Amino acid sequence: MNTDSKGMKLTAREKSALIMEGIVTVILLLLLDLSVIVLLNEMIQTNPGLQDGIFIIKRSVFIGPQHYQLWSWENIFIVLMLLFDAGVVYWRLIRRYHQMQLRHIIGELHYIANGHFDHRIPFTIKGDTQRVITSVNALVDSVIASMDEERKIEKSKDELITNVSHDLRTPLTSIIGYLGLVEDRQYHSEDELLKYTGTAFNKAKQMKSLVDDLFTYTKMRADTPLSLATLDVGQMLEQLAASFELEASEKGMAIDIDVPDKPIRIEADGEKLGRVFNNLITNALKYGEGGKHINLRAKQPDDKEVVVSVENDGKKIPEASLSQVFERFYRVEGSRSKATGGTGLGLAIAQSIVKRHGGYIYVTSTDDWTRFVIHLPIKNGIQLKDEHEK
Ligand code: ATP
Ligand code: MG
Beta strands in 250-314 (DSSP E): 254-258, 265-268, 293-299, 305-312
Same domain, 276 and 339: yes
Domain containing 11 equals: 6-126
* The predicted structure's pLDDT at residue 332: 86
Is residue 51 a part of any domain in this protein? yes
3-state secondary structure (DSSP) of residue 309: strand
pLDDT at residue 67 in the model: 54
Pocket test for ligand 1, best of 279, 347, 368 (most atoms within 8 A of CB): 347
Looking at the fold, whether 280 and 214 belong to one and the same domain comes out as no
Given this model, what pLDDT does residue 3 score? 45
Q: Is 237 exposed, middle or buried (0-12, 13-18, 19+ CB in 10 A)?
A: buried
Report the interhelical angle of 48-61 vs 66-113 (nearest 10°). 90
Question: How far is ligand 1, taken at its centre, from the CA of residue 250, in Å?
Answer: 20
Report which protein residue has its CA nearest ligand 1's atom 16: 325
112 lines ligand 1 (CB under 6 A): no
Q: Is the domain of 81 the same as that of 196? A: no
| Ligand 1 neighbourhood includes 288 CB (under 6 angstroms) | yes
Spatial contact of 376 and 306, defined as CB atoms under 8 Å apart: yes
374 lines ligand 1 (CB under 6 A): no
Beta strand extents in 181-264 (DSSP E only): 229-232, 254-258
Give the ligand 1 atom nearest the CA of 334. 20
Residue 272 belongs to a domain:
yes
Residue 384 lies in a domain: no
Q: Tell me: do 193 and 315 sit in the same domain.
A: no
Of the residues 84, 107, 126, which one is the last residue of a structural domain? Answer: 126
CA of 345 to the centre of ligand 2 (A): 7
Q: Which residues is 7 bridged to in the sheet?
A: 124
Q: Is residue 142 part of a domain?
A: no
Nearest ligand for residue 339 CA: 1
Atom of ligand 1 nearest to the CA of 316: 29
Q: Does the reported pTM lie above 0.85?
A: no
Give the CATH number, domain containing residue 248. 3.30.565.10
- Residue finishing a domain among 175, 194, 221: 221
Instruction: Give Dmax (Cα) for the chain.
Output: 140
CA dihedral 351, 354, 357, 359 (to 10 degrees): -100
pLDDT in single tens digits along all 390 residues of the chain: 444 567 888 899 999 999 999 999 999 999 999 999 899 888 888 888 877 877 777 666 655 555 555 556 677 888 899 999 999 999 999 999 999 999 999 999 999 999 898 899 988 888 888 998 999 899 999 999 999 999 988 888 888 888 888 888 888 999 999 999 999 999 999 999 999 999 999 999 988 888 888 888 877 776 678 899 999 999 999 999 999 999 999 999 999 999 999 999 999 999 999 999 999 999 999 998 889 999 999 999 999 999 999 999 989 999 999 989 998 888 887 766 555 667 788 999 899 999 999 999 999 999 999 999 999 999 988 889 887 765
Which one of the ligands is nearest to 340 CA? 1
Among 187, 221, 255, the domain-final residue is 221
Residues pairing with 298 in the sheet: 308
Residue nearest to atom 23 of ligand 1 (CA): 283
Same domain, 214 and 249: no
DSSP 289-304: TT--EEEEEEE-SSSS
- Ligand 1 atom with the smallest distance to the CA of 348 is 11
Q: What is the DSSP string of 122-135?
A: -EE-SSTHHHHHHH
C-beta of 325 in contact with ligand 1 (< 6 A)? yes
- If we measure between CA atoms, which residue out of 344, 246, 247, 248 comes closest to residue 294? 248
**Cα 80 to Cα 253: distance, rounded to the nearest angstrom:** 102
* Ligand 1 atom nearest 209 alpha carbon: 4
Note the pLDDT of residue 55.
Answer: 75
Residue 27 makes CB contacts below 8 A (sequence gap 6+) with: none
Give the whole-angstrom CA distance, residue 243 versus residue 278.
Answer: 10
Residues 233 and 301 placed together within one structural domain of the fold: yes
CB 251 within 8 A of CB 216: no
Number of domains in the chain: 3
User: Hey, which of 206, 213, 295, 331 would you mutate to test ligand 1's pocket, going by the most ligand atoms within 8 Å of its Cβ?
Assistant: 331
Query: Does 187 map to a domain?
Result: yes
Q: How far is the CA of 196 from the centre of ligand 1 (A)?
A: 29
Distance in angstroms (rounded) separating the CA atoms of residues 120 and 18: 27
Q: Is residue 134 part of a domain?
A: no
State which ligand 1 atom lies nearest to the alpha carbon of 326: 11
Task: Specify whether 255 is located in the same domain as 360.
Answer: yes
Helix (H) or strand (E) holding 374: strand 370-377
Q: Which ligand is nearest to the CA of 282?
A: 2
Q: Whose CA is nearest to atom 27 of ligand 1?
A: 284
233 and 341 fall within a common domain: yes
pLDDT at 388: 75
CATH no. for residue 187? 1.10.287.130
Please check whether residue 301 lies inside any domain of the structure.
yes
DSSP conformation class of 329: T
Same structural domain for residues 165 and 236?
no
- Separation in Å, CA 189 to CA 111, 194, 295, 337: 77, 9, 49, 30
b vs e for 315-342, b when ≥16 Cβ sit within 10 Å of the residue's Cβ?
A: bbbeeebbeebbbbbbbbeebeeeeeeb
Same structural domain, 251 and 369:
yes
- Does 270 share its domain with 346? yes
Helix (H) or strand (E) holding 239: helix 233-250
324 CB-near residues (< 8 Å, 6+ apart):
330
Parallel, antiparallel, or unpaired: how do β-strands 265-268 and 305-312 relate? unpaired
335 lines ligand 1 (CB under 6 A): yes
Q: Are residues 287 and 368 in the same domain?
A: yes
pLDDT of 201 reads 95
Burial class (CB in 10 A: 0-12, 13-18, 19+), 147: exposed
Other Cβ atoms less than 10 A from the Cβ of 126: the count is 9
Residue 339, domain member (yes or no): yes
